[in-house]
Amino acid sequence: MITLDRKAFALASAFGEINQECTQVIVDSYRRINQQLWNEFEQGSITQNELRTARFERLLTEQRISCDRDAQAFSDTYIKYLGLGSFLMEGAEQLCHRLTDRGQRMAIITNGIKEVQFKRIGGSALCNSFECIVVSEDAGFQKPQEGIFDYAFQKLNDPNKEDVLIVGDSLTSDIQGGAQYGIDTCWYNPLRKPNNTTIKPKYEIHALAELHDLLDHS
């Protein structure tokens, strides 16, 4: 429920420290490289530590950027700023408050970097909305692997799968993982991207406000 703008903010701030303009070309290049590496992480091809450095090794090489920091140092700077920026999606705060008021239990399951996730959520208006935040670093598994869902269910005192809905914007991690685990899935697809995969969510929404209506009628 926090937008991609946080990545642009962190990237621009990191480049600002080396007096380098962060152009849209650099941002687009980073997003492409970053997505490729997160896909590899989901598949178990690389570790999260490898991902953190590799994305900047590739970016600095691809964009022919010279600076006095290596990829590891640049990654550390980026992570520092990434934890500072909390840019909520439209309607996120209202939705979470409405669901909390009606007694809906909520949790976060993320493949993201632990230190970033806790700072980001803790510094946002959503900090008291979630019963727990499950990160792959703690679980020892990442979405879509079954182990991370086992870990989350243990944290939530093993609710009935029939009562659980996973909402996410990634078909390959959120929706595939949830479907394989036997829980209902809802694909958050605000850009109305075509689904060219064999992964089929039970529900699809294009705005967060639709989720409240969906839960009212399910």
pLDDT in tens, 165-216: 999 999 999 999 999 999 999 999 999 999 999 999 999 999 998 998 888 7
Q: Do the beta carbons of residue 166 and residue 109 sit within 8 Å?
A: yes
Interatomic CA distance for residues 140 and 148, integer angstroms? 7
The neighbour count for residue 207, using CB atoms within 10 Å, is 14
Element (H, E) at 139: helix 136-139
Q: What's the CA dihedral at 24, 29, 32, 34 to 10 degrees?
A: -100
β partners of residue 133: 108
Confidence class of residue 124 from pLDDT cuts 50, 70 and 90?
A: confident
- DSSP letter for 161, please: G
Element (H, E) at 4: none
Amino acid 86: pLDDT = 63
For 35, 60, 103, 203, 211, the CA distances from 168, given in Å and listed in that order, are 16, 30, 21, 11, 11
pLDDT digits (tens, 9 = 90+) for 125-166: 788 899 999 999 999 999 999 999 999 999 999 999 999 999
For 33, 97, 164, 183, 184, the CA distances from 153, given in Å and listed in that order, are 32, 23, 10, 11, 14
> Is pLDDT of 218 > 80?
no
**Structural domains of the chain in order of their starting residue, each with its CATH number:** 5-82 (1.10.150.240), 92-216 (3.40.50.1000)
